[in-house]
Amino acid sequence: MITTRLPTRIRKLLLAAGVIATTGLAVPTTQAFDLPDMGSSADAVMSTGAEQKLGKAFMRSVRESLKIVDDPTLINYIENLGQSLVAADPEATGNFTFFLIDEPVVNAFAGPGGYIGVYAGLVLAAETESELAAVMAHEIAHVTQRHLMRSIEEQSKMSIPATALLIAAAILGAQVSSDAGVAAIAGIQAAALQRQINFTRDNEKEADRLGIATLANAGFDPYAMAGFFEKLTKSSRLYANNAPEFLRTHPVNSNRIADALGRADDHGARQRPDSLGFQLTRANLRQRAYSRAQLSVDHFRKTLREGRLRSEIAERYGYALALERAGNLSQAKKLTNALLSAKPSQAEFIILDARLDRKMGKAKQAVEMLRQATSLASDQWPLRVAYAEALLDAGRPNKAIDELTTVARLRPGNAFLYDMLEQAAMKAGNRAATHRFRAEKLYAEGDLEPAIRQLEFALRNRDIPYHDAARIQARLDAWKEEERDQKRDEKGRNRGEGRTG
């Protein structure tokens, strides 16, 4: 288990679990949570719009609890894989957001609003891309069948922030250290809620069935799900009480594995080679997993020397990243040049080479290289972000803002991009834009009230152009209306609780 410390908000929620158990769920604190009939309509519990708001609030808690990966190349891979599976699922509608968590945990989870988290440890544990896709397809099925929404009818009577915190505590509670100041009884209740909400036997069986069909439709090996389950089960026998988190949150037995094999038989075997993107992602996550850069360098040097590797080009990429991290830029540059000779259009290699140039004081060279690359592959947003970073290093913040604004239009609501835009506006000396982008970042992270304050600060700048002021005012009006709606909803819930009390 990881030892990430729970944030104050979730710790307080868990410490108040006894109160929640008696008021929100109407059961004694000493009993397990008695959740409603799983056959109830999810749409009757919560509208899609309310679920999206709940998802944003949930993600705010996740960001406070866990380290979310912000490397564009890693994000791009996991998003592309996730969206290819969504496209292959005929029942998948609405928005799905896939994100990576930089922790060595072998697990994944589906939160409200289509937010699906994948741990770095899971990517590294998956020996094939089909195995990784199997777990992600399983989580997509949890979303399409609205398993979570069908299980929180009682909690839906609470405010959205409180419900989001409860769900976050339930999903993440089993994956944090018990020394985080959480009372033992609260931890037990959170774990019990987590098991009952997300991973009932029927839900798991349904997610397996639909996930296997999605795997086959997307061209992956449908047998990968049963194979991965079996591999994790065997490894858990070797480590006794230190079983992978996936098995703790998604209980697997011989019947479930047999059923998954039977489902795969309906589709037949599919042989699909792993993509280079999968191998490069694993190499990047592997080098990040080492606490010290030199350990990472030693690992890749050894695997390359001994030939214990699945993809030599990916292993050399990991080695170059490790050398960069260790400060050996010249050797990393030599390796990267060789990688580019073999794959001149590979975005990961172009970005690494440009970053090395920047670190070696060659920002203009990096800018020119990335300018050419983005002109040839304008749809590759990680390249455009790297281009903006190089422009900032070269002292061209306004051009960087133009580039990042284009990417932000294609990827609305991305907190990472707005953080970069804020930095660029600050370097450009544009105070109004700095406040505006900071506001967008806060809003994307679910912090509505401070986001509103930042827009108000932006409008106080006297030198702000008229059109910019009009756009900011329109955004401010929309957010204030959203804030009023939230307060009306909160008052309505409070009145309802007063009547029932």
> Which amino acid does the sequence have at 38?
M
Q: How do beta strands 108-110 and 115-119 pair?
A: antiparallel
Please tell me the predicted confidence (pLDDT) of residue 497: 54
- CATH architecture assignment, domain 407-501: Alpha Horseshoe (1.25)
In this predicted structure, what is the pLDDT of residue 459?
95
**Mean pLDDT value of segment 24-35:** 31
Measured distance CA(448)–CA(255) in Å, rounded: 47
Identify whether the C-beta of residue 364 lies closer than 8 Å to the C-beta of residue 396.
no
Helix (H, G, I), strand (E, B) or coil at 118: strand
Average pLDDT over residues 264-268: 92
Considering the candidates 51, 208, 348, 403, report the single residue annotated as catalytic: 208
Burial tier of 102 (Cβ tally within 10 Å: 0-12, 13-18, 19+): middle
Tell whether 147 is in a known binding site: no
Residues 277-296: pLDDT tens digits?
Answer: 999 999 999 999 999 999 99
Of 71, 129, 139, 221, catalytic: 139
Cα 270–Cα 276–Cα 278 angle in degrees, nearest 5: 75
Is residue 209 very low, low, confident or very high in pLDDT (cuts 50, 70, 90)? Answer: very high
Q: How far are the Cα atoms of 46, 440, 448 from residue 485, in angstroms, in the given order?
A: 16, 19, 12
- Considering only the C-alpha atoms of the chain, give the largest distance between any 2 of them, rounded to a whole number of Å: 72
89 catalytically annotated? no
Q: Single out the residue of 329, 351, 340, 175 nearest to residue 246, CA to CA.
A: 175
Paired tokens of 414:
């991305």
Burial (CB count within 10 angstroms: exposed 0-12, middle 13-18, buried 19+), residue 10: buried
Helix (H) or strand (E) run with residue 129 in it: helix 129-144
- 142 marked as part of a ligand binding site: yes
* Order of strands across the sheet that contains 97-101: 97-101, 115-119, 108-110
- Distance, in Å, from the CA atom of 188 to the CA atom of 193, rounded to the nearest integer, reads 9
Confidence of residue 5 (pLDDT cuts 50, 70, 90): very low
Confidence at residue 85, expressed as pLDDT on a 0 to 100 scale: 97
Residue carrying structure tokens 């039977």: 262
Angle between helices 381-393 and 397-410 (to 10 degrees): 160
Rounded (10°) angle between helices 347-359 and 363-376: 160
Q: Tell me how many degrees the CA angle 337-341-343 measures, rounded to the nearest 5.
A: 110
- Residue-wise pLDDT for 132-145, tens only, equals 999 999 999 988 88
**Is the sign of the CA dihedral 78, 83, 86, 88 positive or negative?**
negative
pLDDT of residue 375: 94
How do the domains of the chain map onto residue ranges?
A: 8-28+37-265, 407-501
- Span 464-499, pLDDT tens digits: 999 999 999 999 999 999 889 878 776 765 665 555
pLDDT band at 454; cut points 50, 70, 90: very high
**% the chain with pLDDT above 90:** 54
- What is the spatial distance between Cα 279 and Cα 325, in angstroms, rounded to a whole number? 19
Supply the pLDDT for residue 230. Answer: 87
Q: Give the C-alpha distances (Å, rounded to integers) separating 38 from 208, 377, 443.
A: 17, 47, 34
If you average pLDDT over residues 229-252, what whole number do you get?
Answer: 65
Our answer to whether residue 71 is catalytic in this structure is no
Mean pLDDT, the chain, rounded, equals 82
Q: Is 138 part of any known ligand binding site? A: yes
